[in-house]
A = this chain, B = another copy of it.
Amino acid sequence: VTRIVCPPTATVIADLAANRRMAEQAIRRAAGAGADIVLLPELATSGYVFTGPAEARSVAVGIEHPLFQEWSVAAGKATVVGGFCELGDDGRLYNSAAVVDRTGVRVVYRKTHLWGLEKLIFTPGSRPPPIVETASGRVGLLICYDLEFPEVTRDLAVRGADLIVAPVNWPLVERPAGERPPETVIAMAAARTNRIGIAIADRSGTERGQVWTGGSAIIDECGWVVADQQGDPEAAVEADLDLRRARRKELGEHNHVLADRRPELYRRVTQA
């Protein structure tokens, strides 16, 4: 089984040094406690509620930045996934996430579906969410609002991901009493319809008036939440998932979540 941990984080807006310390400690602690995968939120190095592009730029980093070496060392045998504010070689800002292990940065993904005012700060990525071979299996990576496109999660399943990991910053939205965050419901459905586990690391607390959902969660390949944060900023959300189960797409004797598709009937879904 694979132990997935979303440690508690306390990101400080636009304070790269504080966030470096925070992330390094969180990774070291989780990896030391036996995590195979340590998952940090979206924009964990920078915070989210920027005053504008200039402030985002002031804390943006390239993938050569030493903070990734810190993650790599702290990771030990674990694989670390976390969001960061990227300054690209092209001088543009991206809302990115990196997969890092003891060998260094394995992949960087630039968020392809931007939310709200992100559109005024970041350039959307031009490459689909990647899948990284790790010691635990094939890990598919997306960021926050990407998750709300069922095409994205389906695509990762079709391409053979064993697990989907999602650094997020979920602004708290209204929901009926007793309901889970709507984004969690979407993730549960994506997990079940694709027979793949999904791990989500969310923000907690408040940043410049923006209240976060505290929605970190680990969902199994049947779509059930096996661990979740329920808004508690101190909670370390962790669970063991058997990722091999994601390779069995059969539903009983006669059905298969991927082979049962009828792509010829819904081509419009991917027409521009």
Contact = CB atoms under 8 A, between A and B. Distances in A.
Interface of A: 112-113, 115-117, 119, 124, 127-128, 145, 148-152, 154-155, 158-159, 175-176, 179, 182, 185-186, 188-190, 192-193, 222-224, 252-255, 257, 260-272
A269 B268 CA distance: 11
A97 B136 CA distance: 45
B158 A262 contact: no
Nearest to A260: B113
A150 B193 contact: yes
Given A112-B265, A155-B266, A263-B270, A185 B182 contact: no
B155 A255 contact: no
Determine how many copies of this chain the complex contains.
Answer: 2
A272 B264 contact: yes
Given A115-B255, A189-B190, 13 more contacts: A116-B255, A117-B254, A128-B266, A148-B257, A149-B266, A150-B151, A150-B190, A151-B154, A151-B263, A158-B269, A182-B223, A186-B223, A264-B272
Given A151-B269, A152-B266, A185 B189 contact: yes
